[in-house]
Chains A and B, each alone.
Chain A
Amino acid sequence: METELTLRIDGQDHHLTIDTRTTLLDALRERIGNTSAKKGCDHGQCGACTVLTDGRRTLSCLTLAVTQGGAEITTAEGLGQDGGLHPVQQAFIDHDAFQCGYCTPGQVCSAVGMLAEYADGWPSAVTEPGTTAELDHDEIAERMSGNLCRCGAYANIVPAVQAAAPRREGTNAGGAR
C-alpha cells in the first residue's frame, strides 16, 4: 500500500509517495537520497540510524516514515549552522572519536540529543537518585551506550562529548534547552 507524505528533513520539505512499510531510515536513504543516517542492523540494536525528531534522538530504523509527517527531522548532515560543523562534530574530529565513520552520524546525533536530555534534567541509569549528575565519564558512557562502535572509539567518544557539552550554569539541571 502506498501513501502520500511530506517529510521535513534538515529544514527542507520532501513530498513522497511511499510504501507504508517504509521506515524513516529507508525513506531517507532510499527515497530522499540523504544517506547521512546509516543502517547497521535495522533492528534498533546499534544506533547507527539515530536522527533527531523534534530535537529528540530517534532510531529511524524503528520508526515508520508515515508517522513522521510534520516532524522536524535532523540528520548529522543538517546539524551544523551556516555551513559550519556543530560543536559536537568538531569535537569528534578533534578527539578522533571515530575510525571507519559508519557509526559516527548516529553517535553525533545521539550526543546532541543526549546533551539536551541532560540539560532537561533527565537522569540516567547510573545517576544517584535525587542527585544532579555531573557529566563525567560514567554518565556519558551510560547515556551513549545505545550507539555501538565496532571500531572501538568509545575512549575517544566520551571526551569528545565532554568537550562539546555546554558549560552548565549554576546547579539547576532543569530549565530551558
Chain B
Amino acid sequence: MTEMLEHQAIGRGPARRDGVRKVTGTAPYAYEHPVENPAFCHPVQSTVGRGRITAIDTSAALALDGVLAVLTPDDAERLANTDDAELAVLQTHEVAFRGQIIGAAVAETSEVARQAADLVAVTYDQAPHDVVLSDSRDDLYRPDAVNGGFPTDSNEGDIEAALAAAEVTVTQTYTTAMYHQNPLEPHTTTARSEDGVLTLWDSTQGVHPVRKAVAKVLGLEPDAVHVVCPYVGGAFGSKGQLKANTVLAAMAARAVPGRSVRLALTRQQMFDVAGYRTPTIQHVTLAANRDGTLTGIAHDVVEQTARIKEFAEQTAVSTRSLYAAPNRRTSHRLAALDVGVPSWMRAPGECPGMFGTEVAMDELAQELGMDPVELRVVNDTEIDPDSGKPFSSRNLVACLREGAQRFGWADRDPAPRSRREGNQLVGTGVASSVYPVYRMPKSTATVRFSGGRYVAEIGAADLGTGTWTSLAQIAADALGADLASVEVRIGDTRYPEASVAGGSSGMTTWGSAVVEAARAFRAKFGADPSDGDEVEAAVQANPATDDYAMFAFGAHFVEARVDADTGEVRVPRMLGVFAAGKIINARLARSQFLGGMTMGLSMALHETSVMDPRFGHVVNHDLAEYHITANADVGEIDVGWLDEHDPHVNAMGSKGIGEIGIVGAAAAVSNAVHHATGVRVRELPITLDKLLG
C-alpha cells in the first residue's frame, strides 16, 4: 500500500489560481497566443457523403488578394505515416464522409481565408453513402476489443435459463442519441514551422500525446515538435486524441514556413470532424426474484463507428461491475458507416450505458412494487462481479441512503402519476452512478527549489478541472510545505511527460507523479534545500490493483415537473451524492460534479445530433439547433459527497471526479418523468412528443 499523504492543503477549497486571468479573459487559449503577424487558415470540406474527387480548381482562390497558399490533395505534402486514416489529411482523393477536410486556404486575414476556401471548386464522382444505424443491419460486426481495452463480450452462467426461471423479468430496448461534445472553445491551433521546429499552441487534453502523434504523422522527431497548452476552453473528450484540424494546421504552417498560422474550426465544422459520441441501441434484460434479487443481467449494445477508423464505445462495460447476479452477459456490435469518427465524450461507455441499465432497474422496481432505492441496495455487492476482486471501497448504498434522506425521498407516493400541482405532474426519480479509477502508466514530474519557492513541473492539462490549483495542493502536502510556497507549471512539452487528461485519471496519475517527485526531493535534500535542487520522478504502477477493483460510486435524485397539456419537462431539483475517495479541492470538486450533472440534464432533455440520411451530415450543426442546457433550463442542483477513506487508490486517497457526475443523471431524469407521468421514455432525449403520444 502506498503511504498516504497527511492532508493539509488537500481537502480544503482554495479558489482557482487562474481565476483572475479567466474572469478578465486574459488567460491565453490556443488561438490567442500572441505571435508576430499571423496568417489564417480555413478548411475546405467535402459536400458529398462518399465518392472521389475528380477535379479541384483553385485558380479563383489563388487569384484573391491576400491568399498565401491553397492546399489540396493534388499538391499537399505527403505525410510520413498514413496508418490512421482520420489523420491522413489531404492524402487521398477518396471522400469517406460528408464534411471531411479536403483542402484549405491560408491567407493574410481570416476573412480572405474563408472567402478563398469558399472559392475552391471541387467536382466529385459521387457514390452512395450509408449513414443509418440500426440493430437490424446484417453487417454488424464484433470488434476485437472496446475502448479502454476491455473485452468486447462477457458471458457468465446462463442468462437465457435465468430468464426462463425468473419470477420477474424486464426486457427492453433503450436508445441514446448521437451527441457532440461542443466545448465552448472550438478546436483551435496556432502553428509555426521555423528552424526545424514545429510549434503548436493547440487546444488539447494532452500536450505530450499531441506531440507524439503529430511527430509520427509528419515523420519528425518528437523533439522537433513543441506543444503548448496552458488553458483549454473545455474538451469533454473531444480534444483527447489528435484530430484532423491540428494536422491541417501543422501542414498549413509548413506550407508558409516562418509564419504563424491560426486555425479555428467553426462551430459547424466541429460537428463534422471534431468527434462525437456514437448513438447507441441497448437491449437490456433483467431477471429477478420476487424479493428483488437479480438472477440475471444482460446488456447487448449496437452502435456505430466510421468506415475509415474504428472506435468502439464500451457502453455495456460498467454493467459488468455494478450489481451482482449469477447469470450475466454483455456484448458490443458495430456498424461501420460513412460518417466521421466517433470518439471519447465525457464518461465514454458509462454515460450512455448507465442510461439503459438504470432505467431498466427502475422498470424492475415498478414491476416488483419495490422502492427503487431498496432494489439497488438489495443488489449491492462487496465483490466486483466482473473481476471477482473485492472493491477497494464501495459506498453506493451510503450514497443512496444519504441522498434519499437529503432529497426527502421518503415523502414520495410510489404510484406513477400520483402527484399533480396545478397543471404540473410531479415525480421523482433515482439512479446509480459508477466510474472506474484509472491510472495511466506514464507521467513524470519535476520538483525544484528555486528562489525560496517550490516549483512542480509536469506537462499536465487543466480543462477547467482545476489542475493549476489542485496539483499545487498535492505538491504542498507531499512536500509538507505551505500551499502559498508551491508553484505548479503545466501544459507545455518543455515540462516532463504527462499522460492525457482522460478517464478522470489526472489527479491519480499526475498527482502520484508529483508525490513521487516531492518525496524523492525530501529524501535527497531534506527539509532545508538549496536553490536549484531538483528531482524528477515518475508515477508507479499500483500493486493494489492486483487485489482490488477500484471504482467511484454515486446516486442521483431528480424532481421532474411535466406540463400536463404541453408535455414540457422542467427539472427544478437535482441532487447528486458521490463517494469518490478524498476530495482534493472542495470548491472545485463541487463545480466538477455540478458540471457533469448539468451535462447529464442536457443529455436527458435536449441534446441530439440529427443525421440526415439523404446527405449524410448532422443538420442541426450549431448551438441554436443543437440545444445544450442554458441557464434557465437549470434549477437547483445540490451536490454532496461522503468522506470516503480509500487507502488503496493512491497516496492522496482520491478517485477522480471529472466524469462520474454525468453517469446515471439522464436515467434519473427519465425515471422521474415516468413517476410524474406514467410514460416511460426509453429513447433520449425526452422531448414533448414522447410524452403526449
Q: A residues bordering B, Cβ < 8 Å?
A: 19, 21-22, 26, 29-30, 33, 35-43, 45-46, 48, 75-77, 79-80, 85, 89-90, 92-94, 96, 98-105, 108, 126, 137-138, 140-142, 144-158
* A99 contact set on B, CB distance < 8 A: 234, 463-466, 591-592, 595
Taking a contact as CB atoms closer than 8 A, the residue among A46, A96, A126, A150 that contacts B591 in the complex is: A96
Q: Spot the interface stretch: B438-446, B596-604, B666-674.
A: B596-604
* A42 contact set on B, CB distance < 8 A: 266-267
* B232 contact set on A, CB distance < 8 A: 100
B196 within 8 A of A: no
Q: Which 8 pairs of residues, A with B, have the shortest CB-CB distance?
A: A152-B598, A102-B233, A36-B25, A100-B464, A101-B22, A99-B464, A105-B25, A152-B595
Question: Knowing A92-B23, A102-B233 touch, does A157 contact B631 (C-beta < 8 A)?
Answer: yes
CA distance A99 to B593 in the complex (A): 11
Q: Spot the interface stretch: B11-19, B349-357, B363-371.
A: B11-19
Which residue on B lies nearest to A126, using beta carbons? B632
Taking a contact as CB atoms closer than 8 A, the residue among B18, B20, B264, B631 that contacts A147 in the complex is: B631
Give B30 Cβ to nearest chain A Cβ, in Å: 11
Q: Please determine whether B34 and A100 come into contact, CB atoms closer than 8 angstroms.
A: no
Q: Please determine whether B632 and A141 come into contact, CB atoms closer than 8 angstroms.
A: yes
Taking a contact as CB atoms closer than 8 A, the residue among B109, B183, B234 that contacts A30 in the complex is: B109
Give B179 Cβ to nearest chain A Cβ, in Å: 12
**Pairs across A and B, CB under 8 Å, 17 listed:** A35-B25, A35-B31, A39-B264, A40-B185, A42-B266, A79-B24, A96-B588, A96-B591, A98-B464, A101-B233, A102-B234, A145-B631, A146-B630, A152-B629, A153-B595, A154-B598, A155-B636
Residue from B26, B236, B596 whose CB has the most chain A CB atoms within 10 Å: B26
Q: Please determine whether A100 and B630 come into contact, CB atoms closer than 8 angstroms.
A: no
Taking a contact as CB atoms closer than 8 A, the residue among A45, A48, A92 that contacts B624 in the complex is: A45
Q: Please determine whether A100 and B184 come into contact, CB atoms closer than 8 angstroms.
A: yes
Q: Please determine whether B632 and A100 come into contact, CB atoms closer than 8 angstroms.
A: no
Give B12 Cβ to nearest chain A Cβ, in Å: 13
Which residue on B lies nearest to A125, using beta carbons? B632
Q: Please determine whether B184 and A148 come into contact, CB atoms closer than 8 angstroms.
A: yes
Q: Please determine whether B623 and A45 come into contact, CB atoms closer than 8 angstroms.
A: yes
B172 within 8 A of A: no
Q: Please determine whether A98 and B23 come into contact, CB atoms closer than 8 angstroms.
A: yes
* A96 contact set on B, CB distance < 8 A: 15-16, 587-588, 590-591
Give B600 Cβ to nearest chain A Cβ, in Å: 9
Taking a contact as CB atoms closer than 8 A, the residue among A76, A92, A150 that contacts B628 in the complex is: A150
Taking a contact as CB atoms closer than 8 A, the residue among B15, B25, B634 that contacts A141 in the complex is: B634
Taking a contact as CB atoms closer than 8 A, the residue among A21, A36, A46, A80 that contacts B184 in the complex is: A46
CA distance A151 to B38 in the complex (A): 30
Which residue on B lies nearest to A94, using beta carbons? B15
Q: Please determine whether A141 and B631 come into contact, CB atoms closer than 8 angstroms.
A: yes
Q: Please determine whether A144 and B631 come into contact, CB atoms closer than 8 angstroms.
A: yes
* B323 contact set on A, CB distance < 8 A: none
Which residue on B lies nearest to A155, using beta carbons? B637
Task: Beyond A40-B623, A43-B267, list 11 extra A-B contacts (CB 8 Å).
Answer: A22-B111, A26-B111, A30-B40, A30-B110, A39-B264, A46-B184, A77-B26, A92-B23, A101-B23, A101-B233, A155-B598
Q: Please determine whether A40 and B267 come into contact, CB atoms closer than 8 angstroms.
A: yes
B28 within 8 A of A: yes
* B21 contact set on A, CB distance < 8 A: 101
CA distance A91 to B29 in the complex (A): 23
Give A45 Cβ to nearest chain B Cβ, in Å: 4
Question: Knowing A38-B185, A46-B623, A101-B231 touch, does A77 contact B24 (C-beta < 8 A)?
Answer: yes
